Chains A and B, each alone.
Chain A
Amino acid sequence: MAFGPFLLLALMEGLVTSATLALAAAGLSLVFGVMRVVNVAHGEFYMLGAVLAWAVAALVPGPPALAFLAALVVAPLLVGALAAAADGLILKRLNYDPEATIVATIGLLYMIQQATLSLYGPNANPVQAPFDWRIQLPWFGYSGYKLFVILAAGLVLLALWAFMTRTKAGLIMRATQVDRTTARAFGINVDRVYMGTFALGAGLAALAGVLIVPIQQAHYLMGGDPLLLSFIVVIIGGLGSLRGTLIAALVIGLSDGVISMFFTPTLAKILATLLVAMVLVFRPHGLFGAKA
């Protein structure tokens, strides 16, 4: 294959990575932005999304597309409900103290991981893609499902943006993010906002997990990489900035695709880590973040 098409392929693979990464990182960023909670268990919500997609696919009879559609709805809802429970049972009782919640979410990470290992087992299981048509480009064929992932993530992120900027609930979340005490003085039930935000953040990670599972297989340890990459994206983009998160996800995903294809995946990770280090040294609030 000539260089041009090869680069195109690398960029398309990178876009798929960007798409799921942007979803997961948007969730992490939202939770940090509104609640000031660094959710170390975020990758486990992603993993749960994938594992639940496998379970739903196994339970729902009929064509794979139907099962997948069901998983797309059910998995994020279940994971969101679990996150809401974790918020009420753990984070709220810690008064959302930034340091205590880091330790608590580390505990949550291991609890979810071990519970999944016990119930689901140590194996990686594939989930069938909802459809398997391929796009035939002049130089190579490409998975139609991967294009669907890009499109779906784009639509969800657009909806998230509209939700945050155009709806009353989004306004309430943004006000709470700025000043939770004053928000309470105007009738905002901050506990409810936090619970909803944590559920929404987890649901976004779970959605990314569902979308990725036909490409990657479901495994109980699959949450590590997305957690790390989400942190990288959120640090580069600026904590709590949705726009920065999107741009950083594109940068990290595309460079990961290109460098992995032309060099090695390890080099891609090394460069991403270097980029984080540079941002932390020269722009500690991220490229798009507001000053804390």
Chain B
Amino acid sequence: MSGENPTGGSAGTDDSAGQTADESTKPESPTGFRRTWRGFRAHGLAVAGLVVVSVVTLVGIFSYVDDAFLGNSLITSVYYSPFAPEFMPLQGPSMAHPFGTDTLGRDVLARTIYGAKVSIQVALTAVLVAASLGSPLGVVAGYLGGTVETVVMRTVDVMLGFPALVLAIGLVAALGFNLTNVIIALGIVYVPQFARIARSTALSVSNEEYVDAAKALGYSTPHIVFREVLPNCISPLLVQASLLMAFAIIAEASLSFLGLGVQPPTPTWGQMVSDGSGYLTSAPWISLFPGAAIFVTVLGFNLIGDGLRDALDPRESAERRF
């Protein structure tokens, strides 16, 4: 929902949901989160990434609300409609149309703004789906080991054997071309990524003494997996999530570019790049601006991922020992 969700915001919620629920006396947020935030903030580029992603997300929210509830009235009242071909086609950037117009005479800036909606929606939900399926699977596999691990991890290996995009294309082709199916397809495709990381993290967390302590106290396996192990696997999963967000945006754009994603007239960046690809020499702006939007957003997510990785690195706790 909010612009910060993919980054610091969700770190906070994941943390505190597990921790403060029982201890209601002191509603202060865990200092672990604050420390992470300090580390993140020290990473200048990561903050730049966060700003970019926040802006794109806000733009996405704006277009979603405008499109779904207000019948495009907001954007048309201050600017042009992204849908109506009311202008001269193939006009270059000008004061009236800073990003120019496309082959049908639609305003490219308005369409780029609306394109943010699909990109962010797909990236967020697909990664959320993948994370909520893949992480528990991986953690269970890592903690239990044995047959469960073999079955889960071999399946994951098989899925990783296919290039992610090829797998996604196959799934979308089987399910049908629409937004929901793109999300489902990408969600499934990224499950192995989470499962793999969750498993290796869970393996090392399982060796911590507090897991033995939980066994010695006779806690049930679900308790150990979800209360003791999983919360301690969150950091690398968060980093992975923000990096996969970038991949999901590219994947969605690629699907749209190939005409396999969200269908026109809904504007998406990939589709717009595809539309303009025939006019790269005569009217480069049609592809250039949505392409730049993809680039900047992907870069933003990657920067956040890097920043998070550094901020969550356990070595950072050395700072406490001066």
Partners in one complex: no
